[in-house]
A and B are shown apart, each in its own frame.
Chain A
Amino acid sequence: MNKLVNRRRVLRGAAGITVGLPFLDCFLNSSGTALAATNAQLPVCFGTWWQGLGMTPGRWVPDKVGAGYEVKVEMRALTPFRDKMNIISGTKYFMDGRPLETHTTGWQIGSTGRIPLGINSGASLDSQIADVIGTKTRFRSIEVSLDGSTQSYSKRAGSASNPSEGSPSKLYARIFGPEFKDPNAADFTPDPKVMARRSVLSYVADERKDVMKQLGASDRARLDEYFSALRQIEQQLDIELQKPAPLAACTVPTAFGETQPGKDIVEAGKNSKLFGGLLAHALACGQTRVFNINVGAGGLRKAGSTQGWHSWTHEEPIDEKLGYQKEVTSFIEWGNETFAELLRQLEGVKEGSGNVLDRTVILWQSDHGIARTHTMDFLPILTVGKAGGRLKTGIHVSAAGDPATRVGLTMQQIMGVPLSSWGALSNETSKTVTEIVA
């Protein structure tokens, strides 16, 4: 180890590149206590909110496209988040002549970009993302459901779904039970692969630098930009090789007892709030960086009512005077209120001048577009959160007739999944939603 570090020093001296000294100190000081990175950014997180049964036309999609859109009545509860949120309207799941399995096909395309052929189905986008950002956390991802079921839309290629946890108290035990280790007290061992990458970069620094000797002045100025960009990569690696910054916001939430399973919307809403708080703390404590929330809309009902959200969508006539389905719209509004409360939980955990939501993006998708007719077009999609500055927000993008997979591709790309296109057949796209990429 010493030998390598010394060589690095020599190489740096020769090349005249200044790299932050803390990196070297990190290797020279085995205690590690005084070596926390000072300017390390907290990592980005990704979440999904799968809420079935779409939306009501005229009550969800803003009329205004671009920034400063108006929040429609069905989305009212999300008004406080307007500037942290993007709406992508008008996209479609393509069938390519394949038979439709209502409620199933939409999720398949929304989560994996394709209608599976046989059992060899693809991975869901959240697990692709978890493979990039979630490899070093205790949980690669956490799945929860609001209706108490184990269903989720998160899956690895060719395998079954990652089951959801339906009980907040069980999730508490899973995250903050006896297995929980305070991340700030944990030992730190640098990843040998990262060390190797850093060594390689140092090793080739001179070879790269000699390109400058062969250039004219204007080209040299351009290559200067390349080298400063390269230095950022090196610095990122340096940060990864140091003991992570203390997670100042990490606290263990207060334990609570078993709650009612989320059969009616009141209980589901309570559970969602508890899940939100737990996930916020789990993210703040570095336990996971990816989470999936399945609302499980179909079976949810109002307390005392015999009829569920899903049967309302089919059976409720359009109110002639109002021009929409009253009950259905109230369920969708409930969904958005519940979502807003979960967002507030994420905002509630402060990290320095920001909060957990700031470094997160949550993708909100549905299996169908228009609630009443279960369309495969007019799909409602939201993204909430700036993903640590990787997304622009406060924008309504109208993408009528485009594959919905554009949004999934964008999410995966900003999370660093090496991917230039996503999906299959007509659902394949290489066109990201450029309007929202920072």
Chain B
Amino acid sequence: MIGKVVRTPKSLFRTGLRAGFAVGVLMAGVAAAPAHAVETRTFVIGWFSEATYSQDNDCVGGINPNIDDQYLKNLADLGYTPSQIEEMAKKELDGENSPIRGLMTSRARVDGKPANPYAYPAFVVDPKLKSSTSNLAYGFDLDGKPGPVEDPQTRQKGIDNEFARALGCMRSFRGSLESRPTYYAWAWGQLKDSMPAWVVTISAESLSKDGDVTVTFDRAFEHLRSNADGSPRADATYRIDPDPRSHNVLHGKLKGKELTFDTPVDFRLMQNPLMAPMEFKMTKAKLRLTLKDDGSISGIVGGYMPWSEFYLGLGTQGPGTEYCITGDIPGIYYLLKKFADADPDPKTGQNRAISAAYYLEAVPAFIASESAQATQHAPARE
């Protein structure tokens, strides 16, 4: 049943403020900034997705098959003969009751018995999906080791972004920063009008002068406010959710219009479970941002992401999302597992994290602090 999401009754919010959560969080941000910080700009994130840089020919022999064809392959993996598969495919095409969907939603085998493939991806035959061979990917050198991958923006080498390699041949995870990958365009489009927004604060002595800079990321209570044309609305006001799990502080340098944050941090933002990962979490994260002339910012955040959480985000969505949007979900499980490059399990040695990079755009916003009511009388920016 659909119910209204009532996260924070007014009284609770007020109490929260008085109890010092919001104040504490905000103060933390400010206190951590240079003591003489005078200029602060605040934003709300209006677009967030994996930073993709798909190119022609980066998947040897073409990208992975569409889901219907993939299912026929999976049937073969389950042991069906070509003539059985052909018969099932014919039924499917004729619009008759074909068993394919049913077989696919139970294609895991646990103790020889059919089981849910999304819950038990390791018990599905690895469909051996293709991965990208491209050596161009956005991101950062996270491990300090040399490597072949180059960031197309910074031209830095030794970039760690195995996530882009893993999913680079899945249709709906392909795209560029401008032509947004379908999975994220879909998920963001579904969520932006209801999921609490993420807000960004940038503080420096002066944002028109090179020097030290601090950025904070937080989750708001409100969802992103949109314009009449659906674009993110600038200059709206957001309250910060005092939940410390979504509070992040990064220190870095400002040079010209570019902000770089090279000191690795743990980075975490709660998000709506419809979107994978179910919460955005990175270790050893680095960040770069650009101040744009129109007052907005964009940038890349990269780090090591626990891949099982990303997988669960897809796995809990199950067959509908697999069929309509993502493609073979257990196949993605195997890709992530294969390309995971950090945080080995002490027992098995299997890496539990994968290097990745995400892209964000944010528009100017007001962020309500403890003195919100007072700032309602403050002169505003132009």
Contact = CB atoms under 8 A, between A and B. Distances in A.
In the complex they form, whether A and B have CB atoms below 8 Å apart is answered with yes
Interface of A: 90, 92, 94-95, 97-102, 115-118, 148, 261, 263-264, 303-304, 306-307, 310-311, 314-318, 320, 369-370, 372-378, 400-402
B103 interface: no
Given A306-B66, A310-B324, A375-B230, A315 B2 contact: no
Q: Which of B2, B54, B325 has its CB near the most chain A CB atoms (within 10 A)?
A: B2
B186 A311 contact: no
B248 to A, nearest CB: 25
A335 B54 CA distance: 31
Please provide the 4 A-B residue pairs with the shortest distance between their CB atoms, ordered closest to farther: A401-B228, A263-B95, A306-B68, A377-B230
Given A306-B68, A306-B89, A306-B92, A98 B230 contact: no
Nearest to B175: A317
Main secondary structure of the interface of A (DSSP, over half): loop
Contacts of B223: 97
Contact of B95 (A90, A117, A261): A261
A311 B175 CA distance: 17
A95 B191 CA distance: 10
A202 B325 CA distance: 66
B194 A99 contact: yes
A345 B206 CA distance: 69
A303 B90 CA distance: 11
A61 to B, nearest CB: 12
B174 interface: yes
A311 B229 contact: no
Nearest to A318: B179
A311 B323 contact: yes
Interface string B149-182: 0000000000000000000000110110001101
Nearest to A99: B194
Interface string B195-226: 00000000000000000000000000001001
Nearest to B189: A373
Interface of B: 1-2, 4-5, 54, 56, 66-69, 72, 89, 92-95, 171-172, 174-175, 179-180, 182-183, 185-186, 188-191, 193-194, 223, 226-230, 323-325, 327
Contacts of B72: 306
A351 B94 CA distance: 40
B191 A100 contact: yes
Contacts of B324: 310-311, 314
Contact of B94 (A95, A263, A378): A263
Contact of B182 (A99, A115, A303, A317): A317
A315 B172 contact: yes
Nearest to B54: A317
A310 B68 CA distance: 12
A184 to B, nearest CB: 40
A122 to B, nearest CB: 14
Given A307-B67, A314-B324, A318-B179, A95 B193 contact: yes
Nearest to B228: A401
Given A94-B193, A317-B175, A400-B229, 16 more contacts: A92-B228, A95-B194, A97-B5, A100-B194, A115-B2, A116-B2, A117-B2, A263-B93, A264-B95, A306-B93, A311-B68, A314-B183, A315-B325, A318-B179, A373-B185, A401-B227
A274 B66 CA distance: 33
Nearest to A325: B182
Given A315-B66, A315-B67, A99 B5 contact: yes
